[in-house]
Chain A
């Protein structure tokens, strides 16, 4: 049962929710950024003529897509980073504990890269081979052709899909409260512990997640429309 009193006591911890929201946003944004960089790299490997590199990329993508996110997050935090033990314990922005946050970013970025690289690969493959041939015939190297001709067009085509991945990450990042990242979900958990109520903090979390994801998808849709308007392709 949700009660006014329940919300009242939950709101006493609103500070936790604000910090949690900032953490969720930082976590998702960094994840998408690093995930994207890694994904670019993976998709180029995936399309390369070098068989071992190609198989390495395929293996990576399949592995990360075939296993649960929570397993990946636990593995990175408890196995990979447990051995490292050198992560500084400082807090950035004053409240984000780096030694939890960083492994979370790594795990989410590794996961996201697998999905993003498939999106990028399909984007690259959607570009007419004639574009590459024209570029190469003028003496551009394969790297330059990718950088100046193929990728700019591919990325424009896949921007909506990348935006959707961002929305997905915002939601899926909630898993990271299990390794002690103090995101929105962790605020719910703390309030539950302090007030013995779960419904009200969950409602607050729902509203917060919605306020992050809904405008994000609307923003993407807006850019998508704007770009297809001024579409300069054929």
Chain B
């Protein structure tokens, strides 16, 4: 799990995202960061520091106010590509899986239908192949027998595991997690973190916003601390947790690590 600057997957420069009338809420206030292939980049920080906004900007669920996001050689924050053609965002989003705090499974579709919708409609994978892949992935997360279930019939932990494999169905190059365990009952947090850990061990590039400091320390290749829309500190888990530099990071860790 070594950070390798030679394999930059996403390169964020001077990213700004302002909300509110007149743009007075600076959710992102000049963020520059590189995300390396194979890394698990963990993003921590107090509430309102811009963690979600950063993650959501990466796949343009939020449209940045300014700055650039170069993903696989294309600046997706611009609306046009190098040759001036309008950018097809859907193509880029396919390569970035996203897992949400509240799962966002489609309640009217079964587990397998949830998983095969995008591959069938977007990638034009044939139904049988997509279903086969779905069952293989479900098996990997211990849900082989729940393919025909509907989301309402699953526990929170099971829902989140389905959400993770649903995102994996598109075979993304990076997985973005926004507090994937924050809406779970405590006894279900472990099963979801376990799946994420396995994914990391398999070499998946991941950007994870989380309050699970144990996970950050154990699985993270690198930890980024955000505050007030800026990256305040960026380093290995050891450096961040054992030798924090910035007073605000020290303060934050003091509050979460009791």
A interface, CB within 8 angstroms of B: 128, 130-131, 133-141, 144, 148-149, 152-153, 156, 231-234
Interface string of B95-135 (1 = CB under 8 A from A): 01110101011111000000001100111000000000000
Interchain nearest-CB distance for A1 vs B (Å): 57
When distances are taken between beta carbons in the complex, the residues of chain A under 8 Å from B108 are 152-153, 156, 232-233
Asked whether any CB of chain A lies closer than 8 Å to the CB of B151, the reply is yes
Asked whether any CB of chain A lies closer than 8 Å to the CB of B90, the reply is yes
Contacts A136-B61, A153-B107 given; does A141 touch B90 at CB 8 Å = yes
CA distance A144 to B169 in the complex (A): 17
Contact of B117 among A148, A231, A234 (CB under 8 A): A148
Which 5 residue pairs of A and B lie closest in terms of their CB atoms, listed nearest first? A139-B94, A134-B104, A138-B118, A233-B107, A137-B98
A-B contact count (CB 8 A): 78
When distances are taken between beta carbons in the complex, the residues of chain B under 8 Å from A233 are 107-108, 152
CA distance A133 to B153 in the complex (A): 22
When distances are taken between beta carbons in the complex, the residues of chain B under 8 Å from A232 are 107-108, 150-153
Contacts A130-B102, A133-B100 given; does A140 touch B150 at CB 8 Å = no
Question: When the two chains form their complex, are residues B117 and A140 in contact, meaning their CB atoms are under 8 A apart?
Answer: yes
Question: When the two chains form their complex, are residues B118 and A140 in contact, meaning their CB atoms are under 8 A apart?
Answer: yes
Interface string of B32-66 (1 = CB under 8 A from A): 00000000000000000000000000010100000
Q: A134-B105, A231-B152 are in contact. List 11 more A-B contacts (CB 8 A).
A: A130-B102, A134-B98, A136-B93, A137-B61, A137-B96, A138-B117, A139-B90, A139-B91, A140-B117, A234-B107, A234-B152
CA distance A102 to B129 in the complex (A): 48
Contact of A137 among B93, B106, B123, B169 (CB under 8 A): B93
Interchain nearest-CB distance for A180 vs B (Å): 45
Question: When the two chains form their complex, are residues A140 and B97 in contact, meaning their CB atoms are under 8 A apart?
Answer: no
Interchain nearest-CB distance for A144 vs B (Å): 5
Question: When the two chains form their complex, are residues B94 and A131 in contact, meaning their CB atoms are under 8 A apart?
Answer: no
How many chain B residues sit at the interface, stated as a range, is: 20 to 34
Contacts A138-B93, A138-B166, A148-B121 given; does A133 touch B150 at CB 8 Å = no
Contact of A140 among B90, B105, B107 (CB under 8 A): B90
Contacts A134-B106, A152-B108 given; does A139 touch B93 at CB 8 Å = yes
When distances are taken between beta carbons in the complex, the residues of chain B under 8 Å from A156 are 108
When distances are taken between beta carbons in the complex, the residues of chain A under 8 Å from B167 are 137-138
Question: When the two chains form their complex, are residues A138 and B170 in contact, meaning their CB atoms are under 8 A apart?
Answer: yes
When distances are taken between beta carbons in the complex, the residues of chain A under 8 Å from B105 are 134
CA distance A109 to B192 in the complex (A): 51
When distances are taken between beta carbons in the complex, the residues of chain B under 8 Å from A140 are 90, 117-118, 121-122
Question: When the two chains form their complex, are residues A139 and B100 in contact, meaning their CB atoms are under 8 A apart?
Answer: no
When distances are taken between beta carbons in the complex, the residues of chain A under 8 Å from B150 are 232
Question: When the two chains form their complex, are residues A144 and B122 in contact, meaning their CB atoms are under 8 A apart?
Answer: yes
Which residue of chain B lies nearest to A134 when distances are taken between CB atoms in the complex? Answer: B104
Most buried by A among B117, B153, B166: B117
